[in-house]
Amino acid sequence: MTKDKVAADQLVTEIIRGIEEVKGQHIEILDLRDIENTVCDYFVICDGTSNTQVNAIVNSVQKLVSKAIKEKPWHVEGNDNSEWVLIDYVNVVVHVFQKHIREYYDIEGLWGDAKTVRIETSY
């Protein structure tokens, strides 16, 4: 296993923990590594029920990733309205949506060739 793969897998694990900590919903991991000309290795997608929860998810992810593996995002976009916040860790990109925005843009459909893993939550 290469260092980048280990780092990406560990990053995805911490991102999922951050989402689950504040009860983010409908968590999916899209593995883009086998698709040519992709912007990253993984998308992690989830949704929150309100602007407040979307912000809480974003803050939780950044806090846990920073604490656990000392990584900070390269770029964060969408905090102004908190309907769709993108957290770019270069090889992993996190999309935190409000449900209606997620349905409208349908990223999972756009990247239909990706291997998808749904994370089951108990809440």
Which residues form the domain of 57? 3-119
Q: Do the beta carbons of residue 101 and residue 48 sit within 8 Å? A: no
Strands 75-77 and 42-48: unpaired
pLDDT tens by residue, 17-53? 999 999 999 999 999 999 999 989 999 999 999 999 9
User: Rounded to the nearest 10 degrees, how much is the dihedral formed by the CA atoms of 13, 56, 107, 101?
Assistant: 160
pLDDT average, residue stretch 47-64: 97
Domain CATH number, residue 68: 3.30.460.10
* pLDDT at residue 1, as a whole number: 44
The chain-wide mean pLDDT, for the chain, equals 93
pTM for the full predicted model: 0.93
Kindly give, in sequence order, each residue whose CB lies less than 8 Å from that of residue 38, ignoring residues fewer than 6 positions away.
Answer: 32
Distance CA 61, CA 72 (A): 10
* pLDDT at residue 6, as a whole number: 54
Q: How many domains does the chain have?
A: 1
